[in-house]
Amino acid sequence: MVNANDTKLKSWVDVPKDSDFPIQNLPFGIFKTNYLHPVAGVAIGNHVLDLVYLHENGFLDGLGLPYGIFNQNELNGFLALGRKKGGEVRQRISELLRHDHDELKSNFVAREMALVHRNEVQMQLPVRISNYTDFYSSEEHATNVGSMFREPKNTLLPSWKHLPVGYHGRASSIVVSGTPIHRPKAQIKPADSELPVFCPTQKLDFELEVAFITCSNTLLGSRISAKDAEDHIFGLVLFNDWSARDIQQWESVPLGPLLGKNFGSTMSPWIVTLDALEPFRVKGPEHFPQVLPYLLVEGKKNFDLTLQVFIQSGLSVPTTVSRTNFKYMYWNINQQLAHHTVNGCNVQVGDLYASGTISGPSPGSYGSLLEISWNGQRPLTMQDGSHRTFLEDGDTVIMKGHAERDGVRIGFGECSGEILPST
């Protein structure tokens, strides 16, 4: 059996050189067209492979897949089969798409029916998200925020180096890439006012994040070890956890964010499997002080993913505002899931766990405008000559991410959203 990650693999489907979706990737998503209701698909080059057609016409026989598993408007049922089964399906699809494999390649009718050009599809949210947790796992980001709002010697709160800090967010307002976001209204307290006012946020921000999606149901009272965590994780997506900084600052003491965060979060539509990202593993930062035993991990648990953020205003040329890397994360996905469940919290298929803002060591690698503009003190110059401290109505934030090695690029596509005026 040929390894689906083999860098020498080529597909009979045309894959542009700079594509995020070569045969070594094969991410899963949900798509619809003018003639197809939402169904499961796999990205390959500029096309989407219709998994319902493949399954119903015998191309996936022998994998033990339940009838209709792909003919659904969400991937939860497929994910519930487990990461191992997902890997078997990816391996079979890789075989069908190989340039030297004729089964689908030489079947003109099947090929025409199974492949849909991406121009014809509308991507959907790939999973039904029952639960959403947002972590705070970048040391650089936490240090920057602490420096702005606390004295320098207390930039990190006492617990930060001992556990992956997180909070439970709002699952119902997570939307797929391309969905506009309205500027939220709520209470803020201007610096020159004794009382709060109700108005649109003046400090709307993006947060560059990567999120993982779980593929198992666990029992209340059970826990997942850091060693076994990846058995419960299907893959990763890009994630923009929009943030209204002035609303959040006023409301967050003593319980944390609410209206400053729950108005919307945006995720990319393709779930890139952990199997596809296997060649891009790297060691994360050293932990000091040493973590408690339940958070200990061995080997390479971080991923070398280049991440970029662009802001586009109207038809202007997008401005690159951040370039960073997922490898900087202090707390990795194994530790996040282990900590989340160590108290007996149960996990459900399709749960989403976001990394928190990803920032690197230099200003050009910061993952939010709060840091880039240093809370409004350092305006950012755009390509069209305008300036930003925070987002304006009409701005579109575009996030991209990919891993690349030996000529193979594993990407996520776009995670984008336009800011609309308050309603």
The HSE-up count of residue 200 (CA atoms within 13 Å, CB side) is 14
Burial profile 81-114: b = 16 or more Cβ within 10 angstroms, e = fewer = bbbebbbbbbbbbbbbbbeeeeebbeeeebeeeb
Coil, strand or helix at 302:
strand
Tokens at 319, concatenated? 């401005």
Torsion of CA 22, 399, 308, 136, to 10 degrees: -110
Taking the C-alpha atoms of residue 423 and residue 410, their distance in angstroms, rounded to an integer, is 39
Catalytic residue among 141, 232, 340, 402: 141
The CB-based long-range contact list for 187-190 (8 Å cut-off, 24+ gap) reads 187/247, 187/250, 187/251, 187/259, 188/246, 188/247, 188/249, 188/250, 189/246, 189/250
User: CB atoms < 10 A from the CB of 356, how many?
Assistant: 28
CA 350 vs. chain centroid, Å, equals 13
Spatial separation of the C-alpha atoms in residues 201 and 199, rounded to whole Å: 6
* 141 flagged as catalytic: yes
- Degrees to nearest 5, angle at CA 130 with 230 and 257: 95
The SS3 of residue 88 is helix
Query: Which among 263, 151, 152, 268 has a CA at the least distance from the CA of 205?
Result: 263
Buried b (16+ CB within 10 A) or exposed e, 376-395: eeeeeebeeeeebbbbbeeb
Quote the tokens at residue 346: 């149960």
Cα Dmax for the chain:
74
CA distances from 298 to 134, 155, 164, 302, 305 (A): 24, 28, 17, 11, 20
Amino acid of residue 129: I
Annotated catalytic residues are 141
